[in-house]
Amino acid sequence: MADATVLVLLRHGETAHTEQRRFSGSGGADPALSERGREQARQAAAATSLGPVQAVVTSPLARCRQTAQAAADRLGLPVEVADGLRETAFGAWEGLTFAEVRARFPAELDAWFASPAAAPPGGESFDDVTARVARTRDELLAAHRGRTVLLVSHVTPVKTLVRLALGAPHEAVFRMDLAPASLSAVAHYADGNASVRFLNSTAHLA
């Protein structure tokens, strides 16, 4: 147990796209945090400073960089960028609401829900995202063995890291709630086992 590498998973704070419930991935606009999102980042930073975080790693997208920087400033740590933590590229769906996607791409949306191999037009499938997230996880576990690392990322990568730790099927990503600026944590052990310590904690948010 003492040899665990703990990944503390922080979803970025809100953006205008979050509030409007739009698909916001890594293939379209790169929205910054809204005023509320910046406050959420400050609150999350205060929460992460209470634990033994020894490194901060973020997705390259602006909303995550801003959220990560708030925590890093509080912790007195540098920020490392990992491209594998970026959100899904949603292709033609970028910037659209769910209702707009349902109206314009009904068959493609049904296929996306039905199979992790299906991708939005011009975008990534869940299988694609899982492969790069797992690869990034393994690289970070090797680089930070025995440490507690704050990973600032997005809905799909965070849910994927939790799903993989649980050994749950792909459908589990549709059955988790993950609020903006929420915290989750997964412990990885030297024998290859993992355990989810908590999921979607929002007690630090006002």
Active site residues: 12, 87
Residue 138, both tokens: 């393994």
Give per-residue burial for 52-78: e unless 16+ CB within 10 Å, then b. ebebbbbbebebbbbbbbbbbebbeee
Residue 63 is assigned to a ligand binding site: yes
Place of tokens 């709630």: 177
Distance CA(83)–CA(80), nearest Å, equals: 10
Distance CA(45)–CA(73), nearest Å, equals: 8
**Contact between 85 and 153 (Cβ < 8 Å):** yes
List, as residue ranges, the binding site for substrate. 63
List, as residue ranges, the binding site. 63
